[in-house]
Structure formats: C-alpha cells, structure tokens
Amino acid sequence: MEFKCQLFVSLVGFLYNVNAESESFQSAEKQNVLDVAHKLGATTFLSLVIKTNLTAMFNHTGHVTVFIPSNKAFIDLPDEQKENLKDLSYAKEILLYHLVDGPHDKKSFRNEALYRSRSKTKDEDTFVKVRVNIYHGGEIITAGGSPIVNFDNEASNGIAHIISRVMYWPPRYGSVAEIVNIPITTFMAYGLLDGGLSEQLNKKEPYTLFAPTDLPWEALPNKTMNKLRGNRTAIRRVMENHIVSGTYFTNGFKANDTLTTMLGEKLRVDSIIGNVTVNGSFLGFPDIAATNGVVHITTKIFWPTDFDWEH
C-alpha cells in the first residue's frame, strides 16, 4: 500500500512538472517581439516604442524581423542624435527602420541583401530598405551598418536580433552619387560628373564612396588645380581612387584591412579604435547609408600613386 501511495505521488509530481513545462513552453511560444525585447533587457527601445505609439505595429501578427538596439547602443548615440530622438515623429521613423517584413534568421542572411522596412523615404513614396552585410567570413554581420550581436531570438510573430548601434541614418537621401550633392562636397560632386562616373554610381550595384570635403581641394596649389581643370582622364582617375565596389561600413572594418579602389589601388584601414582612419584620413562623417551602398566623408584626397605632380 505504501509503495502504491509513493507511486501515485511520483506520478502526480511527474504530471505536474510536464504540465508546467508545457505551459512554460506555450507561454514562451506566445511571446511577441516586444515580449522578447523585454526578456532581453532592451528597455530603452521598448520605452521609445511606447512613447511613439508603435506597440501595435511591432505586435502585428504577421511575420517580421526586428533589429533591436541594446540599451548601450542608445547611450553611445552622438549627442545630436539623442536630441533628434526627442522629436517623436523622427523617433517613429527611426524605429520603423528597425522593423522589416518577413522572418529572417542568421542562416538566411546574404551579403548585400536588402530587406524592406516599415520606414518610408522623404517623399513618402517608397519604403526604405535595410542592407545586411557580412564581413570577415561571417565574423561580423551588420544590418544598416550596425553589428548584430545576438541572433535569432524567436517570437510568436517573427525574429528579433540585438544590434550594438542604433541605425540612425536610413538611406533616405538617394544613391552614393546623390548624397555628395551637399554644400561640403561640391568638388567631389563636380568631379564625378566631369569624370563620367555619376551615372554609374546611381545604379543599383553597391558602392562605397570616400568623399573628401571641399577643404582639401580648396587648399591645393593652383598648379595642381590647373592640371585637373579640363582633363577628364586625370579627374576620372582621381575619382576612381575614392570608389570601392561593395558596401563597407566602418563596423565591418578591422585594423590593417585593405580595400581595392575602382582604379585598382589599395586603401588601408589604419585604425578602428575611436575615430576610424583610412589611408591616414579621418572619416569626419562615416557610414552615411545610401540606396546603393555607403558614403564616408573624408578629410583628405586619395591621390593615385602615379599622379603626375610635375606637369
């Protein structure tokens, strides 16, 4: 009789544990991406989602992928961006850029893959796309230039990945050629036109453009400027030495990496600690996402090694 009682108690305990595990599994299964964000401690992200009234959007029953910035990612934002996020309409568009259609796990990622986000372009005409890049054989994977540090957190309505940088620069301003049509890079914009490269840099193929500000051009001696004026071949060669095929965000760099320019020369990543430098040039405004790649604003001109300074 005592044995039967012990057996009964054991069976009840076993059934209770199985039931508890089942309920726990079902509970986990029902967690949406915001529940997962909470579980992962992304409280700053969640707070901003609530402030911008986007809870329903992120809880949508359709399959989505969310690139969730960690709390530290928000702490590390430039002061200007922290101020910008106080504007809730701006914050809303940034958050929607982190929400893309469809469930995309790590094994499905391909270099240069584009995923449609819920954020729209400036003219509200089309949805902005998030570009995924794979560097160093998969050691570094970025979304919108931001490293993914925690992959494949499954939710009832999709997948959540944790990123270590807020994707605060959506590609709303066009191609790499269009981005340099700003007051501080006018020499580069005209150089691409004169060199016959603007049309190529407006195509879908991804490019990385290192665009010097106007300051180093304005500092050139008249002799050098005279050599370039009207010499489309020379201008094109100089421009080509600032263009790299493929999308290279700074978060994909390692010290001593080399990039091959369209001209066939090598650009060297000197440092990734603090401010990234390439060929000895500080990147004043790095990682400006374009619809077909990325632009880095530099402080120096990358001259071809055989540039003729004498004539």
CA 52/CA 289 separation, integer angstroms: 24
293 phi/psi in degrees, rounded to 5: 145, -140
pLDDT of 120 higher than 90: no
CATH superfamily of 31-163: FAS1 domain (2.30.180.10)
pLDDT of 18 higher than 80: no
CA 63/CA 203 separation, integer angstroms: 31
Give the rounded percent of residues in the chain with a pLDDT score beyond 90: 78
Q: How confident is the model at residue 56 (pLDDT cuts 50, 70, 90)?
A: very high
Q: Reduced to 3 states, what is the DSSP secondary structure of residue 110?
A: coil
* Helix then strand then coil, % of the chain, to nearest 5: 40, 25, 35
pLDDT at 205: 95
Q: What is the mean pLDDT of residues 93-113?
A: 97
Give CATH 2.30.180.10 domain extents, the chain: 31-163, 176-298
Q: What is the mean pLDDT of residues 237-255?
A: 96
Contact 95, 120 (CB under 8 A): no
Lowest mean pLDDT among 15-29, 61-75, 133-147: 15-29
pTM of the model: 0.87
* Domain 176-298 grouped into CATH 2.60.40.3500: no
Q: What is the mean pLDDT of residues 67-76?
A: 98
- Average pLDDT over the chain reads 89
